[in-house]
Amino acid sequence: MGKDIVFSPDILRQERALRLDGAMGTQIQRFNLTEADFRQGLPVLPTRDVKGNNECLNLTRPDVISSIHRSYVEAGADIIETNSFGANTMVQRDYGLSSIARDMAFAAARLAREAADSASRKVWVAGSIGPGSKSLSLVADFTRPEWRPCSFDEVAASYAGQARALIEGGVDVIIIETCFDALNAKAALYGVQEARPGFPVIVSVSVSGSSGRVLTGQSLEAFFTAVSHSPLSAFGLNCSMGVEGLIPLVRSLGAWCPVPLVCYPNAGLPNASGGYDESPDAMSCQMAELDGEVNLYGGCCGTSPDHIHALPALRSRVVPDCDKSLVLSGLEMWNLGNGSISVSTASHVGKSAGFAGMMERGEYEEALYAVSDQLATDGAKLLDVNLDGLPDTPAAMERFIRLIQSDPSVSSAALLIDSSDMDTLIQGLKNAQGKSLAGPQDPRDAGFVGKASTLRRLGAALLVKACDDRPRVLQELASVGVPPQDIVFEDMLRPS
């Protein structure tokens, strides 16, 4: 393979599955570095100990990081990841180092790029972006379930800065990895789009056990649906557990996922000391079972260059066509087809007097309980959230959508973020972890396409007011990346 080949999603659809590298953190641990190794030479003084803050080493011990990259190249990796998992302002703020987060990310990209370019064959560089230390969906304080420690905009801006530095440093693709919250992943995708529109991106998820659900309780299918507005180069699984535990989940994903699949597990489950015992040969034998079922594979926690070298050559998975139906999600994925759609109006202030009264009195949690009861009765898969008429509607929408995330009986449903106010729609989407329907938008509005583009970048399918010239609407929305199956006209909705 020529060294001048530019990375593209098609690279992952070739006959041979590509090999990713292995763990960075556990390889760093083998150097027995001290606090001084992490701290000495930093351009600013940390506010706490930084041993274990591995991104510091890009600046203080680049020789260590470079040697690890070279060892993975020598082991046969086709793609190596940058040492930048937490190289963003949100993570580095905990150490008082947010002002040099960009320097960490840029240096990480340069070190990996140099190692890749020194190879005698083509090796690509993936810019690693971790999930961060704060969740946008999980309740952080159960006495205030609507409170979050940070906002979508703050997280997206942090990721945008990280992505921009990685891209400027020379990475070929961004990999948003170890994801446990789809809303954080959507913020990361938004940030990458801000940094460089159209740049290749891979999203990889970490699940909590064999159930195939992430920490927020969302299913893998629902998670993929939530990020499917972005043209992903690949989607899949990393960390979590060993190969054996991930094989059933990979096969389940492989049955329908319309993009290339990535799988890079840990070297087994951690032992009592937190270490990983699975040998390179054992991991290789298990990975061989995924022949023809993945497009990119490698290792995560506990894996070494020996593990990557031992991995078998695998044939690449044939990627199926995308489903052409409307698919939305909350904690669950819902295929709503292409016909009329049943929608619950239990949280529509103009259609439910009881709900409206509670919301007007500020009884948000009581209103949520009532919605939960009504959803259980009507069985709708789509919940219409319309708060128009309440004071400060955008803030009310933010608060209520956040409360919804705290109640699985409601957050399992997909949401229709319903408002005549654009700011309210945006606040709803910035707080919903699934893929929502948003609108309605009027195709006769001069700003119709621009507004639709904004909502799409936040992951929404589009609700459009009924009109006579639907072919024109479909064509205009296609120009900003909205496929026909993600366009719903108001007359297609049917109250449950």
Among candidates 211, 153, 216, which has minimal Cα distance to 187? 153
DSSP-derived secondary structure letter, 347: E
pLDDT at 5: 85
**Which region, left, alpha or beta, applies to residue 178 given φ > 0 means left and ψ of -120 to 50 means alpha?**
left
- CA distances (Å), 81 to each of 128, 221, 387, 474, 492, in order? 6, 26, 44, 39, 46
How far does the chain reach from its first CA to its final CA, in angstroms? 56
245 — pLDDT class (breaks 50, 70, 90):
very high
Q: Which H helix or E strand runs over 474?
A: helix 470-478
Closest by CA position to 145, among listed 358, 408, 459:
408
Band the pLDDT of 6: cuts 50, 70, 90.
confident
CA distance 85 to 93: 14
Q: What is the DSSP letter of 118?
A: T
- Angle at 44 (CA atoms; ends 40, 46), nearest 5 degrees: 75
**Which positions ≥6 away from 450 have C-beta within 8 Å?**
none
Residue 485: half-sphere exposure toward Cβ, Cα within 13 Å: 13
Domains within the chain, CATH numbers bracketed: 9-310 (3.20.20.330), 326-495 (3.20.20.20)
pLDDT at 92: 97
Helix (H) or strand (E) holding 124: strand 124-129
DSSP state of 321: P
Pairing of strands 261-265, 296-297: parallel
**Beta carbons of 64 and 57 less than 8 angstroms apart:** yes
| Confidence (pLDDT) at 1 | 56
Peptide bond into 440 cis (omega under 30): yes
**477-488: pLDDT as tens digits:** 999 999 999 999
> What span, in angstroms and rounded, lies between the C-alpha atoms of 78 and 469?
49
Contact 213, 161 (CB under 8 A): no
User: pLDDT tens, 332-351?
Assistant: 999 998 888 999 999 999 99
Q: What is the pLDDT of residues 9-26, one digit of tens each?
A: 899 999 999 999 999 999
- pTM, full prediction: 0.96
* Rounded CA separation 338/324 (Å): 8
Nearest to 232 by CA among 451, 13, 3, 452: 13
Q: How far apart are CA 42 and CA 59, in angstroms?
A: 7
Q: Which of the two residues, 432 and 212, has the higher pLDDT score?
A: 432
> Side chain identity at 335, as an amino acid letter?
N
pLDDT-derived band at 2, boundaries 50, 70, 90: low
Between the CA of residue 296 and those of 64, 77, 229, 268, 308, what are the distances in Å? 26, 11, 21, 19, 12
* Residue-wise pLDDT tens digits, 374-393: 998 988 899 999 999 999 99
Alpha carbon distance 147, 329 (integer Å): 23
Mean pLDDT of 192-218: 94
Q: Rg of the Cα trace of the chain? A: 23
Average pLDDT over residues 127-140: 94
Mean per-residue pLDDT over the chain, rounded: 95
What does the angle CA 210 – CA 215 – CA 219 come to, to the nearest 5 degrees? 60
- Give pLDDT tens digits for 28-76: 999 999 999 999 999 999 999 999 999 999 999 999 999 999 999 999 9
Q: Is the pLDDT of residue 213 over 60?
A: yes
pLDDT in tens, 215-230: 999 999 999 999 999 9
pLDDT over threshold 90, residue 253 = yes
Residues pairing with 18 in the sheet: 296
DSSP states of 151-208: -HHHHHHHHHHHHHHHHHHT-SEEEEEEE--HHHHHHHHHHHHHHSTT--EEEEE--S
pLDDT of 291-304, one tens digit each?
999 999 999 999 99
Contact 495, 345 (CB under 8 A): yes
Task: Note the pLDDT of residue 274.
Answer: 80
CA–CA separation, 446 and 162 (whole Å): 35
Q: Is 80 exceeded by the pLDDT of residue 185?
A: yes
**Strand locations in 213-297, DSSP E?**
234-239, 261-265, 296-297
Q: What is the DSSP string of 381-436?
A: SEEEEE-TTSTTHHHHHHHHHHHHHT-HHHHTSEEEEE-S-HHHHHHHHTT-SS--
The predicted model gives 363-372 an average pLDDT of 97
Classify the phi-psi angles of 174: left when phi > 0, otherwise alpha if psi is within -120 to 50, otherwise beta.
Answer: beta
